[in-house]
Amino acid sequence: MMHRGRKGTDSERELVNMLWRAGFAAIRSPASGAATKNPLPDIIAGNGKRYLSIEVKSSSKDRFYIKKDDIKDLVTFSKRFGAEPYLGVKFNGEKWVFAPVDPLDGITQILSVTKDGNVRIDIQEVRQRWMDFDELIGISRQTRL
């Protein structure tokens, strides 16, 4: 978990509230998580059937990168806790999008990986490939070509 600015915190709160409205109980990890060395995702949610751990990023740019170590921490926590690891991304003016992360190596087909092992988050790619919120929580599942 990286240091979070107010904007990041606002995004996390928004997503937490969406999850509550969708029937999940959700919790943000403490902002003072730096005090611990434990790998913590930004949000944990459960609805009695599914448990989600979500690494959240918001951006005003059209492209950014998530470090492979952040992905690794998300996977480590999720395996231990018993949760499905996801990335949740909010570009300015866009709707939330989500990508599952592979519980083994952190990389799924949906993700674009640089040669250094970091994950590239590109606004065009996520529009085409990533899930929206309803798909994340299992309400709908779009057919993709």
Residue 96: how many other CB atoms lie within 10 Å: 20
Decide whether 40 or 87 has the Cβ nearer to its own copies. Answer: 40
Can you tell me which of 2, 31, 34, 139 binds its own copies, judged by CB under 8 A? 31
Q: Tell me if residue 116 falls in helix, strand or coil.
A: coil
Residue 141 one-letter amino acid:
R
Go through 101-117 and write b for each residue having 16 or more CB atoms within 10 A of its CB, e for each that does not: beeeebbeebbeeeeee
Which residues in the 42-71 window bind its own copies by CB under 8 A?
Answer: 44-49, 51
When asked if residue 81 is in the footprint of its own copies (CB under 8 A), the reply is yes
Among 3, 6, 35, 109, binds its own copies (CB under 8 A): 35
Nearer to its own copies, 25 or 139 (CB): 25
| DSSP letters spanning 69-105 | HHHHHHHHHHHHHT-EEEEEEEETTS--EEEE--TTT
58 a catalytic residue: no
Q: Which is nearer to its own copies, 65 or 81 (CB)?
A: 81
If binding is defined by CB under 8 A, does position 13 make contact with its own copies? yes
% helix / strand / coil in the chain, to the nearest 5?
A: 30, 30, 40
CB 125 → its own copies: shortest distance, Å? 30
Confirm or reject binding of residue 138 to its own copies (CB under 8 A).
no
Structure tokens at 114: 């640089």
Binding footprint of its own copies on the chain (CB under 8 A): 13, 16-17, 20, 23-32, 35-36, 38, 40, 44-49, 51, 77, 79-83
Q: Which sequence positions are flagged as catalytic?
A: 32
